[in-house]
């Protein structure tokens, strides 16, 4: 009897447990169905917009200059070779330009000759001014003589009139009157001569003044010719300075295209090959072209990470420094540049890799 009761109780318990399991499964299925029946909301913007942009990149020198010859000549000495670091204005090579050296000697002689002519003209100006002063002095002397002879004429005329009055009263004889008349004529002649001397002296002053002006004009001309000769000499010296080929900035010599004894033509007159190429490698540009669809996400200042194919297992941090501002019409891409300051020794201009640009959260969520 007791065994029957236990068996009945166990059966009830088993049925209850099975009922609970079925009820739980039913509730779970009902909730799942309700969840699937609800309309789906808009997708999160962040799920559609990436947080980074990765594009192929290339390393380039921050600056690079191809060094060409300004003046034609023969290479007399080469001071540097590829791989050597150079400082700004450091001499890279020397050219021999014999004909230009001769031109410099001619220019120096021309300057000396022009300077001698200037000195000669300066002396001529001093002499001409002295002659002007002498002519003025003679004019003043002639004018003084006119005054003196005018006074003598006035005196002689007064004497003649006084004697004539006395002769008319028969107080004196006529011989004395004739004497005074003769003295008056002599004084008149001297006065006329002195007046003519004044005219002549005045004309001489004008002549000497004109000569002085001519001397000053000659001096100005000589000074101008001296300046021209000095300018030609300076030009020749500047051209000769191009015989010393110097580095435009501090950097690395990455190309050498000349040897001692080579003739190099002037780049101003013909197309020539570079003598050297100097690259600034203390800073590197990271060049990347961004597709048109990703251009709105790019901002100056965004952090960037460079991975180079040739340097495995390492990444290099930089930042976006500048963009071209417009898309390339052929490729529909935007040129973007990041920079690496004091790059690692393993990095070399010309290497390829990929650049990953980190977008700001607000940009990634748009």
| Mean pLDDT in order along the chain per 10 residues (366 residues) | 40 45 42 40 50 94 94 94 96 92 92 95 93 89 85 82 75 72 82 86 89 93 95 92 94 95 87 92 94 93 93 91 94 94 87 91 52
**Residues 109, 206: one domain?**
yes
Q: What is the pLDDT of residue 279?
A: 96
**Residues 226, 121: one domain?**
yes
**Residues 92, 108: one domain?**
no
Q: What is the pLDDT of residue 363?
A: 56
- Single residue among 241, 258, 291 that ends a domain in this structure: 241
In a domain, 27, yes or no: yes
In a domain, 210, yes or no: yes
Task: DSSP for 345-359, please give it.
Answer: TT--TT-EEEEEEEP
**Residue pLDDT, tens place only, 166-198:** 777 776 677 777 777 787 788 888 888 888 888
**Residues 28, 78: one domain?**
no
Q: How far is Cα of residue 155 from the mean position of the Cα atoms in its chain?
A: 83
**Structural domains in the chain (count):** 3
- Single residue among 186, 213, 241 that ends a domain in this structure: 241
353 in Cβ contact with 306 (< 8 Å) = yes
In a domain, 282, yes or no: yes
Q: What is the pLDDT of residue 80?
A: 96
In a domain, 46, yes or no: no
**Residues 348, 310: one domain?**
yes
In a domain, 47, yes or no: no
- Single residue among 200, 217, 241 that ends a domain in this structure: 241
Task: DSSP for 256-273, please give it.
Answer: E---TT-EE--TTTS---
CA angle 296, 302, 305 (to 5 degrees): 115
Max Cα–Cα distance, the chain, nearest Å: 219
Q: What is the pLDDT of residue 87?
A: 96
Q: What is the pLDDT of residue 44?
A: 44
**CATH number of the domain that 305 lies in?**
2.40.30.170
List the structure tokens of 159: 């004497």
**Residues 237, 325: one domain?**
no
**Residues 177, 106: one domain?**
yes
**Residues 5, 32: one domain?**
yes
How far apart are alpha carbons 345 and 252 in whole angstroms?
13
How far apart are alpha carbons 187 and 155 in whole angstroms?
9
In a domain, 323, yes or no: yes
In a domain, 206, yes or no: yes
**Residues 255, 311: one domain?**
yes
Query: Nearest Cα to 66, choosing from 240, 249, 238?
Result: 249
**Residues 226, 123: one domain?**
yes
**Residue pLDDT, tens place only, 32-83:** 334 333 344 444 444 456 789 999 999 999 999 999 998 889 999 999 999 9
**Residues 235, 313: one domain?**
no
Residue range(s) defining the domain that contains residue 218 = 99-241
**Residues 255, 233: one domain?**
no
Q: How far from 81 is each of 85, 260, 306, CA to CA, in Å?
A: 9, 12, 31
Q: How far is Cα of residue 68 from the mean position of the Cα atoms in its chain?
A: 19
């Amino acid at each position: 009897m007791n065994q029957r009761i236990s068996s009945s109780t166990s059966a009830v318990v088993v049925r209850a447990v099975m009922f609970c399991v079925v009820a739980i499964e039913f509730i779970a299925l009902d909730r799942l169905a309700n969840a699937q029946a609800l309309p789906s909301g808009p997708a999160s913007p962040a799920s559609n917009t990436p947080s980074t942009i990765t594009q192929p990149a290339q390393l380039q020198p921050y600056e690079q200059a191809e060094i060409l010859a300004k003046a034609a000549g023969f290479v007399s000495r080469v001071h540097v070779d590829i791989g050597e670091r150079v400082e700004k204005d450091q001499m890279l090579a020397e050219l021999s330009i014999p004909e230009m050296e001769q031109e410099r000697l001619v220019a120096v002689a021309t300057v000396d000759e022009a300077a001698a002519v200037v000195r000669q003209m300066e002396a001529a100006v001093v002499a001409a001014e002295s002659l002007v002063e002498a002519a003025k002095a003679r004019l003043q002397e002639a004018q003084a003589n006119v005054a003196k002879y005018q006074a003598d004429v006035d005196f002689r005329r007064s004497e003649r009139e006084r004697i004539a009055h006395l002769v008319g009263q028969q107080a004196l004889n006529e011989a004395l009157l004739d004497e005074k008349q003769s003295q008056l004529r002599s004084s008149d002649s001297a006065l006329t001569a002195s007046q003519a001397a004044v005219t002549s002296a005045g004309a001489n002053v004008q002549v000497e003044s004109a000569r002085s002006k001519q001397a000053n004009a000659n001096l100005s001309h000589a000074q101008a010719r001296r300046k021209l000769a000095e300018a030609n000499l300076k030009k020749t010296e500047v051209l000769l300075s191009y015989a010393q080929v110097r580095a435009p900035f501090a950097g690395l010599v990455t190309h050498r295209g000349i040897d001692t004894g080579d003739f190099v033509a002037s780049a101003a007159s013909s197309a020539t090959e570079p003598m050297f190429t100097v690259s600034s490698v203390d800073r590197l540009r990271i060049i990347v072209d961004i597709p048109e669809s990703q251009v709105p996400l790019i901002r100056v200042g965004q952090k960037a990470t460079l991975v180079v194919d040739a340097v495995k297992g390492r990444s290099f941090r930089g930042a976006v420094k500048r963009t071209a501002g417009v898309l390339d019409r052929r490729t529909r891409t935007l040129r973007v540049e990041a920079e690496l300051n004091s790059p690692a020794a393993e990095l070399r201009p010309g290497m390829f890799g990929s650049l990953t640009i980190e977008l700001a959260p607000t940009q990634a969520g748009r």
